[in-house]
Amino acid sequence: MTDTTTIADIRITPVAFADPPLLNSVGVHEPYALRSVVEVETSGGVVGLGESYGSSIHVSRLKMAAESLRGLDVQNPYALRQAVARALTDDRTSGGDGMAGMVTASSTLDRVYSPFEVAALDIQGQQYGVPVSTLLGGLARDEVSFTGYLFYKWAGHPGAEPDRWGEALDAAGILAQAETMVEEYGFTALKLKGGVLAPEAEAEAVGALADRFPGMPIRLDPNAVWSVETAVRVGRRLEGKLEYLEDPSPGLDGMADVRQRVPMPLATNMAVVAFDQLPESVRRGSVDVILSDPHFWGGLGQTKLLAGVAQTFGMGLSMHSNSHLGISMAAMLHAAGATPNIDYACDTHWPWKDPEDDVVAGSPFSFDAGAVAVPTSPGLGVSLDRDKLRRLHEQYLASGMTERDDTGYMRRFDPAFDPSLGRW
């Protein structure tokens, strides 16, 4: 072990950034999205960055894990993971998965370890003078394509001015949103977040998108609020219009039933979200495409591991996102850039974020034809802007928020709102 790669300090800062009222199956996004920024500093003074969820339970787990990492060597992520696992042994808390109740079965260890592994790779890259993608095996592509991620939404948060996107509560609203996204970012694939309106209305919106953007891959994701019968009916109606249908129904059984009876591939970031669910999903034939996501699959190394499993069993690989900042964007770019079989356009919530609301210095990402170049400078290729970090932390403190609670926020305006799976 060399002294200069020993972890001397770790700083974890919860932050909040403005988020529009995006509707989903469990409610509506609150005025702020929460994230945590992880800084790992070596005794040699090199700082590596990671980003993760911002709920208080998750942040306290990150702090618990950080205690166990001081004195370890960033060049041995395996030892870091073991230390995080030991640190979490006595953790009896639940929740903190950052997904508003939509992904509850992912591994706590994977979620907590992920930002530390990303930060360790960032430091290694800086020390060796290579981008993180090189440490992951080298670039399979120079740029990563993303989907234009469409949401039903209110015009603005209740009591506030309408935001720049305006209201989208029907097919016409979604079409207008898609036009803007494609015009501004050049997206060549679209995803509609469903599970909000009646399934037939969402199918109508997909039909309108397919007519307006002929040949463009389109996905629909109702986050498992459809029964198997509904999923089969809507899936058949959408034959020829969807690249894949994402999480139409709950569970490995529900997905397997639907998969046998609809014409398009099924994708998931709900039924299969951890390695221990893979054998059963393969046995039952539940899904065609898995949405990787370094934040809950355990980091960048484990994303490559997942890619190997997916390839072995003939499954496709895409990438999931939550509302995120620039450190996550860099991590996602390196992961997708260095993983040949993440060959579907990846999800990102990027367009929903105010460009000023970030913690990274400058504006390192630009979209060209819906794609972003993988950073080529050493490490992750992004650096922290301390003034921006301070501002977003102050915003976190002022927001009074400690958890993501889409359902609670929705129930302030619609007390009878029902978020249950399979309800349509």
Ligand X SMILES: O=C([O-])C(=O)C[C@H](O)[C@@H](O)C(=O)[O-]
Site residues, Mg ion (CB under 5 A)? 221, 246, 269
Beta bridge partners of 379: 131
Q: List the single partner that 328 binds among Mg ion, ligand X, none, CB under 5 to 8 Å by kind.
A: none
CA torsion sign, 113 to 116 to 121 to 124? negative
Indicate which residues carry an active-site annotation: 193, 320
Considering the complex, state which of residue 97 and residue 221 has its C-beta at the smaller distance from Mg ion: 221
Draw the binding track, 213-242, toward ligand X (x: CB under 6 A; -: no contact). --------x-x-------------------
Name the nearest CA neighbour of 350 among 80, 179, 146.
146
Binding to ligand X (CB under 6 A) within 173-212 occurs at 193
Considering the complex, state which of residue 127 and residue 303 has its C-beta at the smaller distance from ligand X: 303
Taking CB under 6 A as the binding criterion, the range among 96-104, 132-140, 278-286, 363-371 that sits at the site for ligand X is: 96-104
Considering the complex, state which of residue 22 and residue 372 has its C-beta at the smaller distance from ligand X: 22
CA angle 33-39-43, nearest 5°?
Answer: 175
**How far apart, in whole angstroms, are the C-alpha atoms of residue 231 and residue 238?**
10
Residue with tokens 């002929």: 214
**Which residues, in sequence order, are CB contacts of 272 under 8 Å at separation 6+?**
252, 278, 281, 286, 287, 290
320 in contact with ligand X (CB under 6 A) = yes
Give, for 39, the enclosing helix (H) or strand (E): strand 32-42
Considering the complex, state which of residue 66 and residue 196 has its C-beta at the smaller distance from ligand X: 196
Taking CB under 6 A as the binding criterion, the range among 59-67, 113-121, 206-214, 321-329 that sits at the site for ligand X is: 321-329
Taking CB under 6 A as the binding criterion, the range among 60-68, 175-183, 320-328, 364-372 that sits at the site for ligand X is: 320-328
Alpha helix (H) ranges present in 199-325?
199-212, 228-237, 251-261, 278-284, 294-297, 300-312
383 in contact with ligand X (CB under 6 A) = no
Of 22, 49, 109, 372, the one binding ligand X (CB under 6 A) is 22
Task: Give how far Cα 183 sits from Cα of 179, 233, 271, Å.
Answer: 6, 33, 34
Residue with tokens 């992880």: 38
At its nearest, how many Å lie between Mg ion and the CB of residue 249?
A: 13
Q: List the single partner that 324 binds among ligand X, Mg ion, none, CB under 5 to 8 Å by kind.
A: none
Binding to ligand X (CB under 6 A) within 336-365 occurs at 347
Binding to ligand X (CB under 6 A) within 241-270 occurs at 269
**Which residues, in sequence order, are CB contacts of 162 under 8 Å at separation 6+?**
155, 156
Considering the complex, state which of residue 101 and residue 166 has its C-beta at the smaller distance from ligand X: 101
